[in-house]
Amino acid sequence: MKLNPKANLLIPDQQTGPVAFSRTTHLGIGAHQDDLEFMAYEGILACYGRTDQWFGGVIMTDGRSSSRKGPYADWTDDQMAAVRIKEQHQAAIIGQYSFIAQLGYLSKEVRPANEPSVVADLVAILMATQPEVVYLHNPADKHDTHVACLLRCIEALRAMPAELRPKKVLGCEVWRGLDWMLDAEKVPMAVSARPELANALNEVFATQIVGGKRYDLAVLGRRIANATFHDAHASDQETSLQWALDLTPLINDPKLDVIEYTLGFVERLKQDIADRLKRAL
């Protein structure tokens, strides 16, 4: 499999590339180093310590534009990009990933629709892995690069032969939570197990935490809040939950418009709010 010249590939258990890709059952594709650990922990957890299921990861950009202060305040973009690759390698080793591929694109390079090199890299990885489940950013995310990466992933997934596409494609929480969705439309991801693993993965990314963003606390706090505020009338069934938006219909039907599909969730929320208010007036 040939990727762009800037791509970096790590296989933690030193298996061959064909083995590492073909054994992958759960695949996460994120914009930046740390996105997978924050949004696709369900997949990491499902595969951890197993030999019949494997989590593989793809990072699309080099993360060079991240915020920085403290010991990283004077670091150049090139220095930040280099150390973030190492941090992602460490997370892949801790999480026992099948592989981690960091494609090394600049944010501006993933934003044009159907950008040939970006989509070709994604198609190559998807065809080599043919995963059962894919974790992506969600289309209501408020980070422009996250949204662009999601759209390139949709283009790549739609380019696959229909019979080889994953059974489930999920849009996950990062720069906008999904607790606003109607309960019946949320895809719950239970992530209560192995809190020590979640902590270890989140704490790897020192450039982000020390650099001014306490993602390690915020991600875990959101998961706890999701579990607690999920049901107003029942005791909690989980201590940590993440929500996802089901993207599978968008992949299986290329005629579906991404904007209309996404705004449908918003419109149904709007109607639910109106109905609830009317009942109480």
- For residue range 110-166, list pLDDT tens digits in order: 998 888 999 999 999 999 999 999 999 999 999 999 999 999 999 999 999 999 999
Q: Which of 160-164's residues contact partners 24+ apart within 8 Å by CB, and which partners? A: 160/123, 160/126, 160/127, 162/252, 164/127, 164/130
What pLDDT was estimated at residue 211?
A: 65
Q: Give the span between the Cα atoms of 202 and 184, in whole angstroms.
A: 29
CATH of residue 16's domain is 3.40.50.10320
* Mean pLDDT value across the chain: 94
What pLDDT was estimated at residue 146?
A: 97
What pLDDT was estimated at residue 115?
A: 85
For the segment 60-79, the average pLDDT, to the nearest whole number, is 82
Return the closest-CA partner of residue 55 out of 85, 28, 19, 90. Answer: 28
pTM for the full model?
Answer: 0.95
Residue 2 lies in a domain: no
List the structure tokens of 254: 């290329």
For the segment 8-29, the average pLDDT, to the nearest whole number, is 97
Number of structural domains found in the chain: 1
For residue 155, the number of C-alpha atoms closer than 13 Å in the C-beta half-sphere is 19
Low-confidence winner among 35-39, 72-76, 142-146, 272-276 (lowest mean pLDDT): 72-76
Residue 33 lies in a domain: yes
Residue 229 lies in a domain: yes
For the segment 252-280, the average pLDDT, to the nearest whole number, is 97
Task: Using the predicted structure, report yes or no on whether residue 69 has a pLDDT greater than 90.
Answer: no
Task: Using the predicted structure, report yes or no on whether residue 231 has a pLDDT greater than 90.
Answer: no
What pLDDT was estimated at residue 208?
A: 80
Identify the helix (H) or strand (E) that includes residue 114.
Answer: none
Q: Give the span between the Cα atoms of 112 and 152, in whole angstroms.
A: 9
Identify the helix (H) or strand (E) that includes residue 59.
Answer: strand 55-61
Task: Using the predicted structure, report yes or no on whether residue 210 has a pLDDT greater than 80.
Answer: no
What pLDDT was estimated at residue 74?
A: 82
For the segment 17-31, the average pLDDT, to the nearest whole number, is 97
Q: Tell me which residue range forms the domain holding 207.
A: 8-280
Q: Give the span between the Cα atoms of 250 and 174, in whole angstroms.
A: 20
Residue 40 lies in a domain: yes
Residue 3 lies in a domain: no
Residue 1 lies in a domain: no
